[in-house]
A and B are shown apart, each in its own frame.
Chain A
Amino acid sequence: MTGTTTATVAPPTVAAGRRLRLARLRDLALVPAILVLILVGALVDPVFLSTANIINVLQQQTELSLLVLAEAIILIGGKFDLSLESTVGLAPALAVALVIPAASNGLGTDWPTTFAIPICLLIGLLVGAFNGMLILRLGLSAFIVTLGMLIVLRGLQIGITGGQNLFELPPSVLYLGNALWLGLPASIWLCGVLFAVGIVVLGFFRSGRSIYAVGGNADAARAAGIRTDRVVFIVFMVAGVLAALAGLLMTGRLGSVAAAQGQGMIFTVFAAAVIGGVSMDGGKGTLFGALCGVIVLGLINNILTLAGVSAQWIQAIYGLIILVALLLARLTTGKAQD
């Protein structure tokens, strides 16, 4: 009963006030880092600042950023989802396989191609709902459930497509990843709008704030009348849909559904979310911070490529930079990473 945490005395008000300001600044903490990276990029190679390169960087990050959006919401709600990266592959693969002819590695169902996008998003929703059901109804650990789903979903995709990449895609599936709206790729618009919606909902609506409450202290949230299970369930379904949409964008951009589409992305997703200040313990972090985390990682990746770092070393250096970024995030908050 006499835990040390409960017995801690509050620091003097001055220190508390300073920590409050730091906590507020935490949201903007990555903005200077982004500015520094842009400066470094411009020095490394003048091409960096060209419109083409900037758009390229942003478009490449759209799929990652949608996954980070999904993961950040789940982390704020105090849960965990590893299976998102497999949804990125399975949702478009299954949707495409249902609409293309058997000759092009389809399933032979030959459904109308207009159904492809709704089916893809529906698959994401169902995967999220299934995750939520296992975690909430059966009381299983979110880590293990979604780790299992990560493997199962990837296996399903390989089973359905026979391990083949799907090339002959209907134009509707390709559209979102390729279209230009007002001179910018549609995927960038989509991402921007979804992040804006997410920031507003999580910041200014009761439903969004209840995600913070559930992640911060589920018992307290329940005592306040929040239906905690329903919140978590919805969060998993929204995340599944976002992952499916990310898969759709990637499919359109690359012009095919690779058997390994999305594989390995989840580690970068977590890195971006944590660098962006989202707590792995739940209840803490903002979507704006998570977005900054994505942009930082995208810029670093781009600069390393432009700087001509050899392809064999780029992964090691990228990983090292993620660790350094985490270290800096830890130092700026002055609190233990959580």
Chain B
Amino acid sequence: MSAADNQNSVAVPGATAPGTGAAPGVAVEAVGVSKRFGATTALADAGISITTGETHALVGRNGAGKSTLVSILTGLQRPDSGEVRFGGELAPPLSDRNAWRRRVACVYQKSTIIPTLSVAENLFLNRQAERGPIAWRQLRRRAGDLLEEFGLAVDPGRLAGDLNVEQRQLVEIARALSTGARFIILDEPTAQLDGVAIERLFDRLRSLSAAGVTLLFISHHLQEVYEVCDTVTVLRDARWVLTRPVAELGREALVEAMTGEAVGLVTGTARPPLPADTPVSLRVDGLRLGDVYGDIDLEVRSGEMVGVTGSGSSGKVSLAETISGLRRADTGTVVVGDRVVPPGSVPAALAAGIGTVPQDRHREGLIPLLSIAENATLPINGSFGPAGLIVPKRRAAAADRMIERYDIKAPGPDAPVNSLSGGNAQKVVLARALSTDPRVLVLINPTAGVDVRSKESLLGAVRDAAAAGTAVLMVSDELDDLRTCDRVLVMFHGRVTRELAPGWADADVVAAVEGVAAEQPAAPEGAQQ
């Protein structure tokens, strides 16, 4: 996260943020909205004003507050302060779901289709009939009419679970329109679609917009914003930054508004280049996993640190999980040294010398009720005694060494790991990943939700491991993580689209992640039509 927030680059929200005296053309507005979750501020005095009939983009980096704003606009969460208005009227109470449904509909990233029911029933869920028994034939005909009107060739009698992602999404949009809502929020609708489907979706959005439907479009891909949107609102660090017609805002200015011209934290010292004859520790050849990613070839040399970044749908996490054995690729191989790693098996990956810091330390990283010592020594607990016997003293000694080495702030090796702060818990995960002295270290968002001090010591420990000859593959959204790497690969829609040499500017990464880099080849699928 850009810690240094430039004061003069943006206006104060209260001053120019959408005012209260609703113009007749304003379909939806949120004014001075704040929301806190415990210690974190998700939204601070943010606002948005959407004109009737326009397609409005909402952009911001991860954690900027987009999803919180969406859940407030859809009435799923109550703002701590501020208000939401529809067409100038105050929003209905949160408990009146039907009133909200008439005003706003949202197509979430997570599907709200019920797979075990038919398309027709999904379209008219909970309003299959006014009263009395459901006339199925009539319901299917109504659904058929609705789908036809919407230009969607799907048999209304089909099970919704048999539809593909694109069709399911369109059914959700059709359902949203059929409830009478004329304001639709699309939360990253393109994340799971391929290029052709994205184009079809955009055509549809344009015709909806022409028909007077107001759209709020959330995307990580800035070129999509330029393609379909009229106006853009940028959020950064839970605050409103700007609202501007898309045509008036250049790409550089947009990226700048999203990153806030963060004065990059200079972390660590520049690493000396590796000798040319350094052996390759990790080689990935032609790795492909369904629609998630494909054509991945990469090499990481011993002692080299390679960063991988991309948006949530870029496939970067799946790639890292494949290398660490949590997923099984369809084709391609992972080679450590000169040994092919058997796919889809964590024990095999560990045996081959791949250590992993998984994405979610709470879910995959730690066993919360066990002690620090047990968590940190899980992969090596066969070495504390004969025949699987764990001699407590030897384990405690090993854990003490780790606590010392990785600067873990803890009462002692026997403290349960869930008593630690996020940063220290993550150090335990890293200590465990490095406990086997792996040749390859794969890290997934290693500093997410970690305070600045812990971040420094985590990255320092990774640098130390690299200096000792471990090949590091760092998958991360955080610029500070990537800055410690020798080079950074950017993934977009499942492909590696750019490689950044050291000395890149923040804007380079953000632009490449959002898919607007000048060097980026034309979207391969889009070319087909």
Contact = CB atoms under 8 A, between A and B. Distances in A.
A210 B133 CA distance: 13
B16 interface: no
B116 A216 contact: yes
B262 interface: no
A209 B125 CA distance: 9
Interface in A222-238: 223-226
B108 to A, nearest CB: 8
Contacts of B291: 7, 9
Interface string B101-145: 100000001111111110001000111110011101000000000
A204 B15 CA distance: 55
Interface in B167-220: 167, 191-192
Contacts of A226: 125-126
A143 to B, nearest CB: 21
Interface in B416-450: none
Nearest to A219: B112
Interface stretch (A16-24, A98-106, A119-127, A174-182): A16-24
B313 interface: yes
A20 B158 contact: yes
Contact of B164 (A10, A217, A279, A284): A10
Interface string A198-225: 0010011110011011011101110111
Interface residues of A, number: 35
Contacts of B133: 200, 204-205
Contacts of B115: 216-217, 283
Contacts, number: 104
A206 B129 contact: yes
B134 A16 contact: no
B98 interface: yes
B10 interface: no
A6 B165 contact: yes
Nearest to A10: B164
Contact of B312 (A1, A11, A205, A223): A1
A23 B119 CA distance: 14
A215 B114 CA distance: 9
Contacts of B290: 4, 7-8
Given A216-B116, A217-B112, A1 B97 contact: no
Nearest to A284: B116
A51 interface: no
Interface residues of B, number: 42
A225 B116 CA distance: 18
B159 interface: yes
A9 B163 CA distance: 9
Given A205-B134, A209-B134, A216-B117, A221 B312 contact: no
Pick the most buried of B98, B101, B125, B164: most chain A CB atoms within 10 A of its CB. Answer: B125
A20 B155 CA distance: 11
A310 interface: no
Contacts of B98: 225
Contacts of B136: 204
Nearest to B319: A2
Nearest to B159: A23
A283 B113 CA distance: 12
B157 interface: yes
B126 A221 contact: yes
A221 B313 CA distance: 26
Given A2-B318, A19-B162, A224 B192 contact: no
Interface in A1-42: 1-2, 4, 6-11, 16, 19-20, 23
A283 B125 CA distance: 14
A6 B117 contact: no
Interface of B: 97-98, 101, 109-117, 121, 125-129, 132-134, 136, 155, 157-159, 162-165, 167, 191-192, 289-292, 312-313, 315, 317-318
Given A10-B163, A16-B162, A209-B117, 5 more contacts: A2-B315, A6-B165, A8-B164, A213-B114, A216-B117
Sorted nearest first, the 4 A-B pairs with minimum C-beta distance are: A10-B164, A216-B114, A220-B112, A283-B116
26 contacts: A1-B191, A2-B312, A2-B313, A7-B165, A7-B192, A7-B292, A8-B290, A19-B162, A20-B155, A20-B159, A204-B134, A204-B136, A205-B129, A205-B132, A206-B134, A209-B121, A212-B114, A216-B115, A219-B110, A219-B112, A221-B114, A223-B97, A225-B97, A225-B126, A226-B126, A284-B116
